[in-house]
Amino acid sequence: MSKPILWTSTRTSGTIVHSMAAVSGLDIDVRFISLRAGDHKAPDYLTINPKGEVAALQLPDAGVTITEIPAMAFWLAEAAPDSGLLPRDAIGRAKGMEWLCWCHFRMANVFMPAFQSRLLTGGDEAAADVVRAAAAPRARDALAFADAALAKMANGTLLGTAQVSAPDIFLGSLLRFATFLGAATDDLPHATALAAKVAAHPAIIAALAREQEIG
């Protein structure tokens, strides 16, 4: 039996999957590649993930690679049913997928344009500044929506679970991204408390420390 391999890169959206993998407790070989060095466009990597992106979860025994954060989260939750990444009941799992898809769409729609603003504007710096500035209030609006939903949930988590779930981890990362964009989030107590709960998870502390070490 070969271990699953998580291909990722530090301080990218791959960190979200790295955190979920850590919480799963599964024995996963985490391999870091450098986007700056172009490792994700190297022929060997493209045979694993033809999208040329991180993260990618390679399952050597099945001869399959899973990509896209909600799909990787789903596999991790299925492989580690007691991890709390997703609830075991069908409705709970569906609600978990709903939040994962929500976070994923916001990441692509609100956060990525800001982080890739120069790419989007063809290098036009002034236009890129406008794109970045427009992203901060939209990021805040997204987090305010999640904050209001959290206010109604038990345990202050998106699914009302005592354990930190995959959507909670994703939302915690979106809150961090929002802070990078300069969005005000201090007045969103539920989202802020959830992000703190996620950040205090021992497996996530260890995963982030490893990323810090690698640089």
Ligand X SMILES: N[C@@H](CCC(=O)N[C@@H](CS)C(=O)NCC(=O)O)C(=O)O
Residue 149, interface with ligand X (CB under 6 A)?
Answer: no
- Name which of 55 and 204 has its Cβ closer to ligand X: 55
* Binding test (CB under 6 A) with ligand X, winner from 55, 57, 73, 85: 55
**What does each C-alpha distance from 200 to 8, 172, 194, 205 come to in angstroms?**
22, 11, 10, 7
Residue 120, interface with ligand X (CB under 6 A)?
Answer: no
Residue 65, interface with ligand X (CB under 6 A)?
Answer: no
Residue 146, interface with ligand X (CB under 6 A)?
Answer: no
* Window of 62-70, 144-152, 185-193, 195-203 that interacts with ligand X by CB under 6 A: 62-70
**What does each C-alpha distance from 59 to 11, 31, 72 come to in angstroms?**
23, 13, 11
Cβ-contact 25, 46 below 8 angstroms? no
Q: How far apart are CA 26 and CA 83, in angstroms?
A: 9
CB of 116 to ligand X, least distance (A): 8
Place of tokens 């596999």: 75
Most distant pair of Cα atoms in the chain: their distance? 53
Residue 157, interface with ligand X (CB under 6 A)?
Answer: no
* Window of 51-59, 79-87, 166-174, 190-198 that interacts with ligand X by CB under 6 A: 51-59
Residue 35, interface with ligand X (CB under 6 A)?
Answer: yes
Cβ-contact 69, 104 below 8 angstroms? yes
**What does each C-alpha distance from 10 to 4, 18, 101, 172, 212 come to in angstroms?**
19, 9, 22, 16, 8
Residue 13, interface with ligand X (CB under 6 A)?
Answer: yes
Residue 12, interface with ligand X (CB under 6 A)?
Answer: yes
- Can you give the binding site for ligand X, defined by CB under 6 A? 12-13, 35, 40, 52-55, 67-69, 104
